[in-house]
Copies of this chain bind each other. A is one copy, B any other.
Amino acid sequence: ERRVDFPVSVVLPAGGTGERTGLQTPKQFCSFLGRQLISYTIQAFERVSWIQTIVVVVAKENTDLMTDIIQRFQHRKVRVVPGGSTRHRSICNGVLALGSGQDEEGGSTAERPKVVIIHDAVRPFVEEDFLYKIAMAAKEQGAAGAIRPLVSTVIATTSEGYLDHSLERAKYRASEMPQGFTYDVIHQAYQSCTESDFEFGTECLHLALQYCGTNAKLIEGPPTLWKVTYKRDLAAAESIIKEALSRTACVITGGSAQAVTLAEALQKAVGALEMELDAIPDLMGDNARYLVTEWNFIHVSISGSCLSEVEALLTALEAANRAILHPLVVILVHLSTSDELSISGRMAEPAAITDLASAAKLRNIFVYGVLLQQSKDTDCWERSVLRVAEITSALIRERSSALVGQLLQA
């Protein structure tokens, strides 16, 4: 366990206008899976126990939106501070707010931090261990910053637009975020810097060097620190979240032999699709832990109605407050054992399932159904199981809200 025995807070400038995304909305306020990018970034800091306060600096016109996001996704630790006309003015506002020990309404807040971490609202994948390195190096050296190897050769151009020379790549690095500073260094840097720095400067590290004589410690960060800049980066970020949510699922069998057999066959089949299934009879006792850890549930039923069990599952998930940050997926796999059910009445009460799914969707739980026909023919049965595996795995990966409530045929 890593101990940080000094107060650390965060400034998250989020005043950008998103010109480069090709989108109307500033990119930090663009959504995927029903949530704005900035909320993912806030979450990355909020889950770190030793981080005290997260100051989000937003343009005046986005204050209401930001307040809504904080309420809706139940963010704690967050204070909203009005932005300035440039990135440095916004960061400076955030730093000063941390020093004041007061929030906008004059309420008292946490103690003045020893270290301030500055990050971008559009880099949602920063991890605790890297924040730890930045915080410790900042405390030690006064300043620390993330770097990455250069992805392209950097070249100097002549004034006419021709190649002048190329830089020796090994000697240079790209400066990224997060960066960390002792409160004193970043405060002093902003006290001392010029209007021109506020207007045109890009690097906090540079201000710390120029005005405090602090040479920042540079630490190589992982590629996931990249900045969401273009519309395609939003798709990339969404794919990373979706992949993280799709690695495992919990199959609830009810304990019947047929359902257990099906669950075991599914475990094998989805293994090839790079997903792991845990099969359990129910969510009682020790298995209740899945309610607080798992993002995907596959409920297997053999015949007759399973709606009351599924309703109980949905109620338990809601009670555990699980679907605040990410949509949960619940798939009803119904194994039909008698031939006359094949087309009409394929599953008990399809309309009831659709209604249940509509209600669950409002609580960010995506319910789908998959219908499977028992077969004595081994080949036919194996094909069906494989289809169930493909369909459930696709539903879990895609998390499509448009397909909620559909009954699919394996």
Q: Do the beta carbons of A402 and B406 come within 8 Å of each other?
A: no
CB of A103 closer than 8 Å to a CB of B:
no
In this complex, what residue of B is CB-closest to A390?
A: B402
**Digit string of A197-237 for contact with B (CB within 8 Å is 1, else 0)?**
00000110110010000011111000100110110110111
Taking CB atoms, residues of chain B closer than 8 Å to A72 are none
A237–B231 Cα distance when bound, in Å, is 11
A394 to chain B, nearest CB (A): 4
**Chain B residues near A236 (CB-CB < 8 A):** 232-233, 235-236, 239
In the bound assembly, the distance between CA atoms of A152 and B203 in angstroms comes to 10
Q: Which residues of B contact A265 (CB under 8 A)?
A: none
Report yes or no: B162 in contact with A157, Cβ–Cβ below 8 A: no
- Which of A332-363 touch B at CB < 8 Å? 343-345, 350, 354
A216 contacts which chain B residues (CB < 8 A)? Answer: 162-163
Q: Which residues of B contact A172 (CB under 8 A)?
A: 154-157, 167
Q: Is A17 an interface residue (CB 8 A)?
A: no
A393: chain B residues at CB < 8 Å are 402
CB–CB B218/A162 < 8 A: yes
CB-contact partner of A223 in B153, B163, B230, under 8 A: B230
Interchain CB contact under 8 A, B202 and A169 = yes
A88-147, CB < 8 A from B: 141, 143, 145, 147
Q: Which of B153, B203, B343, B390 meets A202, CB within 8 Å?
A: B153
A394 interface neighbour in B237, B238, B343, B402, Cβ under 8 Å: B402
| Most B-side CB within 10 Å, residue of A209, A344, A402 | A402
Which residues in B have their C-beta under 8 angstroms from that of A78?
Answer: none
Q: For the complex, give the distance between the alpha carbons of A76 and B326 in Å.
A: 46
Q: With an 8 A cutoff between CB atoms, is A280 at the interface? A: no
Query: Is A152 a contact partner of B174 (Cβ separation < 8 A)?
Result: yes
Number of interface residues of A (CB under 8 A): 70
Write out the residue numbers on chain B whose beta carbons fall within 8 Å of the beta carbon of A206.
Answer: 153, 163, 166
Main secondary structure on A side of the interface with B = mixed
A152, B227: Cα distance in complex, Å: 9
A154 in contact with B175 given A230-B223, A236-B236, A398-B398 (CB within 8 Å): yes
Q: How far is the CA of A174 from the CA of B153 in the complex (A)?
A: 6
Closest to A242 in B: B235
Q: How far is the CB of A368 from chain B (nearest CB, A)?
A: 10
Query: Which residues from 235 to 267 on chain A have a C-beta closer than 8 Å to any C-beta of chain B?
Result: 235-240
Name the B residues within 8 Å of A203 (CB-CB). Answer: 153, 155, 166
Interface presence of A403 (CB below 8 A): yes
Chain B: minimal CB distance from A286 (Å): 33
B391 touches A155 (CB 8 A): no
A297 vs B134: C-alpha distance in the bound complex, in angstroms? 53
Min distance, Cβ A366 to any Cβ of chain B, angstroms: 12
A48 at the interface (CB under 8 A from B): no
Contacting residues, chain B, for A165 (C-beta < 8 A): 209
Asked if A171 CB lies within 8 Å of chain B CBs, one says yes
Determine if A63 is an interface residue (Cβ-Cβ < 8 Å). no
Q: Is A314 positioned at the interface, with any CB of B under 8 Å from its CB?
A: no
User: Is A215 a contact partner of B394 (Cβ separation < 8 A)?
Assistant: no
Q: Is A75 an interface residue when CB atoms closer than 8 A count as contact?
A: no
**How far, in Å, is A176 (CB) from chain B's closest CB?**
6
Cα(A153)–Cα(B237), bound, Å: 23
User: Smallest Cβ distance from A22 to chain B, in angstroms?
Assistant: 9
Cα–Cα distance between A147 and B164 once the two chains are bound (Å): 13
User: Can you spell out 12 A-B residue pairs with CB atoms less than 8 angstroms apart?
Assistant: A143-B163, A152-B227, A153-B174, A162-B216, A166-B175, A166-B203, A223-B230, A235-B238, A343-B345, A344-B345, A398-B398, A405-B409
Residues of A whose CB lies within 8 Å of any CB of B are 20, 141, 143, 145, 147-148, 150-158, 161-167, 169, 171-176, 202-203, 205-206, 209, 215-219, 223, 226-227, 229-230, 232-233, 235-240, 343-345, 350, 354, 390-391, 393-394, 398, 400, 402-403, 405-409
